[in-house]
């Protein structure tokens, strides 16, 4: 019995935002962003588009490819760190938007590792026969985190110069502002009782909360009230990030978990046809690739086009590789992610 991918799809926010757009509103440069992260552009949503909208749009594409309709889906697993609302989760909102039956809808919150965690949860639900045809979504709207005041200029709909005060505020968050993008991706997973080769094979997941405050949003229920003018003034409603710490975690833990997972299956790096890493920084992925000795044609990066879309990065890259024919039926894939929590992990799939 195996959980097999039957369809995949993704969408991005409506507005293309090239690096040059940030040069207008903060002290940064296209060159800095490219050199430090590899990112050339990202997409931000239009006003009114939420995470569940991106999830629903991506799901429709994945469902069409899988040849399944709303009546066939019997479980939703929705990975996001940017739900439409503080509560409820985005899964149930998307259930209604897609016209699915009153099936269970589960949100999971593992940030950049959301997709690999969601794969394990989904596989367990399918193998336990709780579900037969499951929709797994990774979707994010990061742009609302940013304390920008002139969104039309950011989105390319106007061309206003910021005040000095606005420029200083934008520059204060520049290390995070340039990294993230808005997008949604989905896959349809189905239990196949007869299958023994294709499908999800195994996972290795980890968490360590001891340094959670190296990448987190300080506001929240640890404060009463959870939001206040002081919190907003201190920018504690915006993600805080120790970029160098996250970088070091990624280049240490990602190779470690790959070696461990492959080792358990007696596999070498050369036996993996495609590595798909979370897209947080091209330099991170190049360092992990070197550390593991992965051949350049076995790894796929697309952060240049989309920035970091957390739970959506891996399924977007996966969908691009499937559609372009880069991944062929029967290929062995290894997904790897690390992010806030900290959570990290890897998954093996035979496509
Ligand atoms: O999925 C998990 C999410 N997060 C991550 O994966 C983040 C991982 N970390 C990183 O990607 C990198 O640490 C960053 C891209 C965030 C930063 O790159 P870095 O090479 O570690 O730069 P840095 O933090 O050491 O900053 C170097 C300089 C600083 O200026 P000073 O102190 O040397 O004067 C920063 O203020 O670069 C400055 N800087 C910027 N300059 C222009 C930071 N952000 C920017 C910016 N534009 N956007």
How many angstroms separate the CA atoms of 19 and 28, rounded?
9
Q: What is the pTM of this model?
A: 0.97
**12 Cα: distance to centroid of ligand 1 (angstroms):** 25
Cα–chain center distance at 202: 20
Q: Let me know whether 11 and 159 are in one domain.
A: yes
Distances (CA, A) of 167 to 25, 44, 149, 173, 347: 6, 20, 10, 10, 42
Q: Let me know whether 173 and 214 are in one domain.
A: no
C-beta of 28 in contact with ligand 1 (< 6 A): yes
Q: Of 148, 172, 192, which residue sits at a domain end?
A: 192
| Nearest one of 89, 129, 94, 174 to 3, comparing CA atoms | 129
How many angstroms separate the CA atoms of 22 and 1, rounded?
49
Q: Let me know whether 216 and 300 are in one domain.
A: yes
**291 Cα: distance to centroid of ligand 1 (angstroms):** 22
**159 Cα: distance to centroid of ligand 1 (angstroms):** 26
Q: Of 176, 192, 208, which residue sits at a domain end?
A: 192
Mutate to test the pocket of ligand 1, among 25, 30, 35, 36 (most ligand atoms within 8 A of CB): 36
Alpha helices per DSSP H over the chain: 19-25, 30-37, 51-66, 90-98, 114-127, 151-154, 164-172, 174-177, 229-233, 243-264, 282-292, 303-306, 313-324
Q: Of 134, 166, 192, which residue sits at a domain end?
A: 192
- Report how many domains make up the chain: 2
Q: Let me know whether 124 and 31 are in one domain.
A: yes
- The closest residue, in CA terms, to atom 25 on ligand 1 is 244
N- to C-terminal Cα separation, the chain: 15
Residue with token string 């993600």: 239
Q: Let me know whether 70 and 110 are in one domain.
A: yes
CATH number at residue 72: 3.40.47.10
Distances (CA, A) of 317 to 49, 77, 114, 193, 303: 22, 19, 15, 28, 9
* Residue range(s) defining the domain that contains residue 104: 2-192
Q: Let me know whether 159 and 179 are in one domain.
A: yes
- The closest residue, in CA terms, to atom 35 on ligand 1 is 175
Instruction: Catalogue the active-site residues.
Output: 112, 278, 308
Q: Let me know whether 209 and 105 are in one domain.
A: no
Q: Let me know whether 243 and 114 are in one domain.
A: no
How many angstroms separate the CA atoms of 60 and 147, rounded?
32
Q: Let me know whether 99 and 206 are in one domain.
A: no
| Nearest one of 119, 316, 295 to 204, comparing CA atoms | 119
Q: Let me know whether 179 and 36 are in one domain.
A: yes
C-beta of 308 in contact with ligand 1 (< 6 A): yes
**195 Cα: distance to centroid of ligand 1 (angstroms):** 46
Q: Let me know whether 177 and 205 are in one domain.
A: no
- Please check whether residue 305 is in contact with residue 41, taking contact to mean a CB–CB distance below 8 angstroms: yes
The three-state (H, E, C) secondary structure of 212-228, written as one string: HHHEECCCCCCCCCCCC
User: What are the pLDDT tens digits along the chain (351 aa)?
Assistant: 999 999 999 999 999 999 999 999 999 999 999 999 999 999 999 999 999 999 999 999 999 999 999 999 999 999 999 999 999 999 999 999 999 999 999 999 999 999 999 999 999 999 999 999 999 999 999 999 999 989 999 999 999 999 999 999 999 999 999 999 999 999 999 999 999 999 999 999 999 999 999 999 999 999 999 999 999 999 999 999 999 999 999 999 999 999 999 999 999 999 999 999 999 999 999 999 999 999 999 999 999 999 999 999 999 999 999 999 999 999 999 999 999 999 999 999 999
Burial 294-310 (b: 16+ CB within 10 A, else e): beeeebbbbbebbbbbb
Q: Let me know whether 188 and 277 are in one domain.
A: no
């Amino acid at each position: 019995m195996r959980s097999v991918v039957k369809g995949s799809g993704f969408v991005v926010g409506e507005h293309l935002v090239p690096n040059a757009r940030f040069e207008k509103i903060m002290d940064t440069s296209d060159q800095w962003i490219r050199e430090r992260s590899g990112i050339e552009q990202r997409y931000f949503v239009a006003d009114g588009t939420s995470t569940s909208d991106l999830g629903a749009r991506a799901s429709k594409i994945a469902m069409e490819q899988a040849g399944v309709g709303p009546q066939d889906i019997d479980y939703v697993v929705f990975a996001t760190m940017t739900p439409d609302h503080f509560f409820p989760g985005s899964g149930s909102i998307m259930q209604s938007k897609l016209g699915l039956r009153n099936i269970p809808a589960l949100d999971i919150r593992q940030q950049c590792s959301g997709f690999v965690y969601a794969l394990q949860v989904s596989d367990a639900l399918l193998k336990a026969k709780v579900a037969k045809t499951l929709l797994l979504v990774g979707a994010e709207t990061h742009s609302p985190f940013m304390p920008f005041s002139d969104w039309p200029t950011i989105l390319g709909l106007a061309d206003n110069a910021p005040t000095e005060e606005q420029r200083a505020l934008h520059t204060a968050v520049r290390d995070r502002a340039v990294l993230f993008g808005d997008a949604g991706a989905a896959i349809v997973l189905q239990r196949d009782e007869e299958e023994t080769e294709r499908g999800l094979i195994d996972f290795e997941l980890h968490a360590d909360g001891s340094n959670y405050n190296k990448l987190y949003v300080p506001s929240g229920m640890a404060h009463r009230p959870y939001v206040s003018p002081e919190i907003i003034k201190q920018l504690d409603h915006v993600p805080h990030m120790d970029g160098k710490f996250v970088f070091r975690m990624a280049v240490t833990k990602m190779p470690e978990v790959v070696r461990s997972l492959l080792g358990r299956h007696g596999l070498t790096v050369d036996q993996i046809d495609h590595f798909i890493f979370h897209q947080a920084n091209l330099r991170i992925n190049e360092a992990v690739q070197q550390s593991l000795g992965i051949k350049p044609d076995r790894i796929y990066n697309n952060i240049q086009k989309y920035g970091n879309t957390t739970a959506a990065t891996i399924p977007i890259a996966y969908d691009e590789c499937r559609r372009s024919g880069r991944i062929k039926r029967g290929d062995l894939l290894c997904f790897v992610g690390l992010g806030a929590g900290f959570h990290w992990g890897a998954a093996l799939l035979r496509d």
